[in-house]
Structure formats: C-alpha cells, structure tokens
Amino acid sequence: MPDQPTRRRSLLKAAAAGTAAVAGLATASRSGLLGNGGSGGSGGLPTLLLSGDDGSGVKVLEAPLGDELLPRVGTRRWRSAHLPTSTHSMVGFVWGRDQPEPSLRISSRRDGEWSAWQQVPLMHDLPDEGDEEWAARAGTQLVWVGDTDGIRIRADGHRPDDITLVLLHPAKRAGDALAGSAPGTLARSDGALLPARPAMLGRVQWGADESWRNGTPRYNTTIEQVHVHHTANSNDYAEDDVPAILRGIYRYHTSSLGWSDIAYNFLVDRFGRTWIGRAGGAAKPVRGAHTLGFNGTSTGIAVIGNYEGVAPGLETLAAIVRVAAWKLAPYQRDPVGTIAVVSEGSDKYGSAQVAVLPVIDGHRDTNDTACPGQLLYDRLPDIRRQTKDRMATVPAVAITQPFALTGDNLVGATLSVTPGTFTPPEALVTYTWLRDGVATGEPSASTHVLAPEDFARQLSVQVDVAAPGYTSASQLVSLPALVQTQAVVALRLRARRGNIRANVTVSAPGLAAPVTGAVRVRADRRTPRLVDIVAGAGVARLRDFGKGEHTVKVTYRGSALVRGAKVRKTVRIRNG
C-alpha cells in the first residue's frame, strides 16, 4: 500500500486532471463530465456531472468558470445560466492566491425550485505563510446547500482568471446516524465537575480518509488562545448529516485548497457534539490552519453553521466551553483576560506585530472577516465567563519541578529526560519527541538516540502529565542548540622514493551533501599545508623525505554544525 503523501499526491493529480477536463463546455462534454441528459439549463446546456467517488463516498466536480459557464453581463459583473447538475450538497470556489478577490453569490435548485441568492463567504480560515501547507490557491468557504441539482452563479467586481467551481456531494453512510449523540457532563466519582477531556467523536467516527492527509502533524510549544470560528454552512442540517459535512470540508481543504489536513482542531455542531478535526492528538497542541497569523500559539474551534443571522443554541455554547476549558487549563490561561501575541502576519496584524487579544476570541479579532458570525460573536463574553467558572472548580495536574533534558546535541548521542515532580504523584507521564516541532513518530520514551535525520534540526520533547479526574499538564523541553554531527577523517598513505601521497576523506553522518572545505596536513615538523576537500576527498603530495618513519597528521577544523576531527598515521620510507 503506498504511503499517505504518495496517495494524496495521486488524489491531487486526479483532481487536477478532472479540473483540466472541464476547461470548457465542449471539452467537458467530450470528457464525460457533462452529460447530455440535463434538464432545465438555459440554452439547452448539458448537465454538470460529479465524478464517481474513490471509495470515500465523496463525489466531486471542479469546473473552471470561463466565458462559457460564467460570461460577462455588464461592467465588472458576470452571471451564469441556470446550470443543471447531478446531485450535489456543497459548493465552493477556488482561484490563484495572487488574484483579486471576487464577490460571489449562488442560487441552488432543490425539488424544481430555485433558492434566493446567497453570498458565498470568502475563506479567511487560513494556514500561516511559510507553513508547509501554504498553498497557491485562495477561495471561499464551503457552503452546505443540501441535496440540489442545479446552480446559478453571480460574480461582481472581479472574476479571477483561474476561478474554479467546486461541487461536492459527500454521501451519507450507514454508520453516520450512529456516530454519536450529544455528550453528557463528565464527572469525578465524587460528582464534582471536571474540565477533563470532553466527550468527543473522532476522525474514525466521521469517516476521515487518512490517505488525503499530507505529511506529519506539527505541534506548537504552547496554547495562548482559543479562536472561535463558524464554517458559514447552512444551519438546517440534521444530526446524521454532520459526518458527511465534515468529509466534504476535509476533502475541500486538502484537495481543492491543497492544505495538509482539515483546518480546524475541533468542530462543534448545533446539537452540542464535539468532533476532532485535525489529526495529531486532541490532547496535544496541534498546529492548525484556521487563523492566518495566529496558528502557532492557539487552538481553533469551528461551529458548523452560519451564525450571522441565527443564534447558537445553549448546547453549542456549552460544547465550546468544555473544549476551551480543557485546552487552556494546562497552560494556566485566564479565559476572561487578554494576552499579548506576536503575529506571524495576517491581513489585520503584520508579521512580528504584537497584538493584545482576548484569550478566547472570535476570528474577526485577528483577521478581516465576519467570522464567527455576529450572533455567535455576541456570546463570547458568556463563553469566557463559563470557561473560567469551569476551570476554577476543577483540579489540575501541577508540575512542581520542571522536567529537564540532558545529553550531547550530537548525532549518535542519547538524550534523556530528567524527571520533574508533579501532583498528584500517581499521574502518568508520556513523552512525544519532536523534530522541528513535528513528532518523530517513535513510541513514548524518556530517551532518544540522535539519528542522522536529526542533524541541523531542533530537537525537543513534549512531556504530558495526566491523571484521571484532573486536567492534564504539559511542558515542552528543547535542546538549547541545533543537533550537530561529528566529522570522520580517514587517511591513507603511500610512500615511494622519498615522496608521500596522502589521500584524505572527510565524512559526517547526516550531511545531505559531501563535505567541502579544507584540511591541514602536516608531516613530521614541517610547515603545515592546506588541502582542499572537494566532494569529501582531497590529496596531499609531500616531497623530499629521507629513509625511515614519518608521521602525517591531518586536522579538519569543522564548521558551525560539524565538529572537527584529527587523524595521525605513520609511514615508512625504505629508500630516500
């Protein structure tokens, strides 16, 4: 079975092939993505057909919107015909990140009736520039429209040259109705409320296809904030619609937008259920892609629905409180307070700018967006107070003496975690080793042998201390410097007729390219010579030696991350 990144690249290639296949109506008709049996289209347009799914249950069509599908109808205005489609339930648009943003509206046909026009919100739930998943595509939020078989599109202001319509239909599965019900309150045996891990439904429950995910999760060193979002979907979904909605969002984020995973750490539905979004471990500070400029110090909770004109229910608010209390307590954050956060660059705060923000904020506090909707945003003061109340009445694991990291930062050396002290003493300690903030994938252990792949990387270990009935505590312990490697110098000598040929090779574990530079070569007590090392090797020719034994010493001084080395050998000259 191919590895996940390979399988995901295949998926993206397939999606790109599907996009190219619908570059125009005529081309799309020949490709089979447009059928001839469509009804109700203006001018007899054929039906836009979503592709058969790949076993995930998600059907998809990505159609470029050129002049055939979205023609100009006025100054800075474009409008499509009534476009018949095969059944779809989610709509989005993507385009190149360097293109101006359009204003887009859609109308959908359900049971023969066309809906009122609705705005498609622009996507501001974004990874940070410089992250591996920072992609070349921008786009809109993915709108849930229910089962529909037609679409009309309006664009105002600008139509990006490469704008693509994305239609998705994540079909329901038999297990979706059994995925879970609204959670009850967690309690200790004595009945006291806990901000322990809330009841959650995982990626298996909502049917995440792990082959769509690209690469290994990344981890933050801390959590300073909880950002509250909404997904801008419709609010009339049923309980058993939610897993399919999540599969659709996941597919849109990974394939259409090119991100490594679903953007949000957690999602909450209107029934009060909490769903785990991004992979990597719900209890860990997984770096999301939800709040441009502020993903590196936060966790993101997205409420499924649009809360600009609809108020969130009490069940939904309670779910946000449970997750916020659980994630903030290990870092001793004040839910009703503010915190100074350094931006990594957003449309509201420039890179390295310090923003003083609420510990629990709405997405609009960090970016130029209406998210999370006015009526949810208005409830944030209540969410903050309830989160503080929940945290105040709950015991938490306390690390009373910090853990420490010992060992040489050298490839081949063993790093060891010196245990700290904590209460309660029966708490369980787990270790996650990180390479440049990304988990190495090895089992939990208090030691790590530095391997060649660790060279020039920042090695750290996240220590999690957990006990039943307590909020867990976390500590990140890092090496003070990047991992170095030890050079190895090899010397081979040949002597003939008073001359010595010294063949020198220099290598070092972990280097991606052969060693270059120079070595100092000294024979007996003569003046040293510098010999260039090219592609890991160099030659010194030493002349005019008499009969007898002679000592040759080679010194490589090393570099910033490569430690130097020496070698000494003797050679006998039998005839001078």
Which H, E and C letters describe 24-62, residue by residue? CHHHHHHHCCEECCCCCCHHHCCEECCCCCCCCCEEEEE
Cα–Cα distance for residue pair 163/140, rounded to 1 Å? 11
Q: Which residue stretches of 187-269 are H helix?
A: 203-206, 242-251
* CATH code assigned to 178-391: 3.40.80.10
The identity of residue 183, as a single letter, is: P
SS3 (DSSP) at 81: coil
* 548-558 and 517-523 beta bridge pairing: antiparallel
What pLDDT does residue 56 have?
Answer: 74
- In tens, the pLDDT along 281-324 reads 998 999 999 999 999 999 999 999 999 999 999 999 999 999 99
Q: Which amino acid is at 214?
A: N
Task: Determine the CATH number of domain 398-478.
Answer: 2.60.40.2700
Domain 4-24+34-174, what architecture? Sandwich (2.60)
Q: Is cis: bond before 425, omega within 30 of 0?
A: no
- Whether the bond between 372 and the residue before it is cis, its omega within 30 degrees of 0, is yes
Cα(22)–Cα(33) distance, rounded to whole angstroms?
7
Domain ranges in the chain?
4-24+34-174, 178-391, 398-478, 485-573
Question: Do residues 298 and 227 lie in contact, with contact meaning Cβ atoms separated by under 8 Å?
Answer: yes
* Residue 541 pLDDT: 94
Q: Are strands 298-303 and 266-268 parallel, antiparallel or unpaired?
A: parallel
Give the chain's residues under pLDDT 70: 1-45, 53-54, 132-136, 177-196, 576
Do 398-478 and 485-573 come out as alike in CATH topology? Answer: yes
Res 576: pLDDT: 56
Phi and psi, residue 350, nearest 5°? -70, 165
**Bridge partner list, 435:** 438, 459
Closest CA to 325 of 265, 395, 388: 388
User: Are 439 and 433 spatial neighbours (Cβ–Cβ below 8 Å)?
Assistant: yes
φ and ψ of 428, to 5 deg = -95, 135
Q: Where are the alpha helices (DSSP H) in 189-251?
A: 203-206, 242-251
Q: Which residues contact 88 (CB under 8 A, 6 or more apart)?
A: 50, 59, 61, 145, 147, 148, 149, 151, 167, 168, 169
Q: How far apart are the first and last CA of the chain?
A: 66
Q: Is the dihedral of CA 540, 545, 549, 551 positive or negative?
A: negative
What pLDDT sits at residue 195?
A: 58
Question: Chain-centre distance of CA 547, in angstroms?
Answer: 67
Phi, psi of 267 (to 5 degrees): -130, 140
**Yes or no: is domain 485-573 CATH 1.10.150.390?**
no
Contact partners, residue 23, CB within 8 Å, separation at least 6: 64, 66
Angle between helices 380-392 and 314-328 (to 10 degrees): 50
